[in-house]
Chains A and B, each alone.
Chain A
Amino acid sequence: MRLAESKDLPMAVTILAFLSVLLLTREARAYPQFQFSTDNVRCSQCHFNPTGGGLINAWGREEATDTISRGGDGDFFNGLVGSPGWLSLGADFRVVAGARFNEANGPDRLIFPMQADLYTRSAFGDFRINITLGIRGRARNNESPPHSRAVSREHYVMWQPKVTGAYLRAGRFYAPYGLRQVDHTNYIRRDLGFYAIEETYGVSGGYLKDDDWELHMSAFTRDPILNVGPEGSGFSVLYEKRFRDHKAAWGLQSKVQLAPDSATYWGGGVLKYWLGSIDVLVLSEIDIGVGTVDTPNADPILKGIAHLNLTHFITKGLMLGTTIEAKQSDFQLEGKDAESLTLSLQYFPKAHYELMLFAKAERTQQTSDLVSFLMFHYYL
């Protein structure tokens, strides 16, 4: 409701067209940018998942219509097809066309289906069953067997008497930690065990004290079937506290991952801040990690990641994002650092539709890479 409808749509379209020529792009999934900027305080106000992401609830569908998009009807099949009260359904489809450039490999065309996921959520008393079935995207042609395309990113059973208060769940999902940004290539996702399809199996419990604070604790282990992501098992804790009249939040997170030959301990903080006077949301995260490897003469490895995302809500249905990230995979060693700059322009012409222009430039001591694409997203 905060985003005022602008009369400057032609200007917005011009900017979009200009950037599509000038810039380059890449990817998505959950939208933490809508926290605070839409007057919604918790991720679980719009999502069934207590920590956000995936299927949106009835309020989320209303917000998709009234606040986020420039019109339309956000209901499942525009409200033409109903479902029983205990069952909620949805889907996400994403297609991408763009290119990747780097000195070693030259330009690569990227045209591929990024996501095709169907969501079901069933409610029986205080219990919920959430299942996501889909086909994973594939950014390049390779020889992986066809069966490896089918995947269930999430499937879990949850005890949740109320949307706020206590909950407990068991199954496959990302153990809550830090920001849940849309771009899975962000260092805070890729380097912290939240890369594509790296959802872990585990149990998670938490408490949401209305809009004031929330706490999530998880015990997890790597998916034993897919064997994707960091090896081993661990624990994580995430606490988020809102302040400034529910227009800002700070958070603390910690994660331990133990594998047969290694251990990693992460700790960090998050700051989210809505600057209403200029319609900008600041999302930032810092993480420091210590890793050990069980081999003779191996010193502990100190590593860190910094993430800063600024999103400017230009007008209703149009937002411009800038993300700066830096990481150091080993503070004691030269040449292990990397930085990236991401620009994204997201346009929501109607409920159910999104167009995104994405450009990401990444630099290490030896290489520089550039990825750009235009993404079309349809959600049901």
Chain B
Amino acid sequence: MKMQFRSQRALIPLLATLFLLMGCGSEDERPPTFTYVYETILAPSCATIGCHNDFSQTYGFRFSTKEGAYLGLTGRACNDDAEIPGEPPGNYVRAGHPDRSLLLSLMRGDDVPRRMPPDRGLPEVDIALVEEWILEGAKCD
């Protein structure tokens, strides 16, 4: 009985400490490159089984690889620096124009039938990083 009590007491401060640490933070100094955006935001949030992986390809999107995600969003290959003639397919990402990029409206749930991801919204700090990447030319860097 004594042992049970001790273990319970040990568990509470341990968890409390970790939960408190979860609130820490500072200004966003993360690089607005596509590699960073893909690895930390798009891949973990969009490439799950029922959504935009190579197998399900919901709405034709394949986010299982960086190259596939870039092609789907911008309409051009990752190693192709050519200017996009006219608007890109789907208008998901319009380089230099966050205001004309549907991806951001989808992420914020602004004027779209459904926010993405539908299960849980992305943190605004992540959406802002995607916005910065688009503003800086939406390169595959």
Contacts and interface: CB of A to CB of B under 8 A. Distances in A.
Q: Which of A295, A297, A326 has the most chain B CB atoms closer than 10 A to its own CB?
A: A295
B101 interface: no
B47 A228 contact: yes
Interface string A91-132: 000000000101011001000000000000000000000000
Given A231-B64, A261-B35, 12 more contacts: A228-B48, A228-B54, A271-B7, A284-B15, A286-B14, A301-B40, A326-B18, A326-B22, A328-B24, A336-B25, A364-B123, A365-B123
A262 B43 CA distance: 12
Given A195-B48, A228-B47, A333 B30 contact: yes
Contacts of B3: 244
Contact of A142 (B33, B58, B125): B58
Contacts of B58: 142-144
B120 A295 contact: no
B119 A104 contact: no
B11 A282 contact: yes
A290 B25 CA distance: 16
Q: Which of A139, A144, A185, A364 has the most chain B CB atoms closer than 10 A to its own CB?
A: A144
A105 B30 CA distance: 29
B79 interface: no
A266 to B, nearest CB: 14
B50 A196 contact: yes
A100 B120 CA distance: 10
Determine the interface band of chain A, counting residues with CB < 8 A from chain B: 35 or more
Contacts of B55: 144, 148, 225-228
15 contacts: A105-B118, A226-B55, A227-B47, A227-B53, A228-B47, A228-B48, A282-B11, A304-B22, A326-B18, A328-B21, A329-B40, A336-B25, A337-B25, A339-B22, A365-B123
Q: Which of B38, B40, B115, B141 has the most chain A CB atoms closer than 10 A to its own CB?
A: B40
B4 A275 contact: yes
A308 B25 contact: no
B66 A261 contact: yes
Interface in B56-114: 56-60, 64-66, 109, 114
Contact of B49 (A136, A286, A328, A366): A136
Contact of B26 (A145, A228, A333, A366): A333
B40 A334 contact: no
B114 to A, nearest CB: 5
A362 B120 contact: yes
Contacts of B121: 102, 104, 364, 366-367, 369
A148 to B, nearest CB: 5
Contacts of A327: 22
Given A102-B121, A261-B35, A331 B25 contact: yes
A138 B56 CA distance: 11
Given A148-B55, A332-B26, A364-B121, A142 B50 contact: yes
B39 A335 contact: no
A228 B30 contact: no
A279 interface: no
Interface string A286-302: 10000101111111010
A299 B27 CA distance: 13
A284 B11 contact: yes
A379 interface: no
B44 interface: yes
Nearest to A145: B57
Given A286-B18, A297-B31, A262 B57 contact: no
Given A142-B59, A144-B57, A295-B36, A332 B141 contact: no
A134 B48 CA distance: 18
Interface string A68-86: 0000000000000000000
B120 to A, nearest CB: 5
A226 B141 contact: no
Nearest to A196: B49
Q: Which of B19, B47, B64, B123 has the most chain A CB atoms closer than 10 A to its own CB?
A: B123
A298 B22 CA distance: 21
A197 B29 CA distance: 34
Contacts of A244: 3
A306 B18 contact: yes
Interface in A172-200: 185, 191, 195-198
Nearest to A149: B56
Contacts of A108: 118
Q: Which 5 pairs across A and B sit closest by C-beta, in order of nearness?
A: A334-B25, A104-B109, A367-B121, A104-B115, A227-B64
Contacts of B22: 304, 306, 326-328, 331, 337, 339
A348 interface: no
Given A144-B56, A297-B31, A196 B48 contact: yes
B13 interface: no
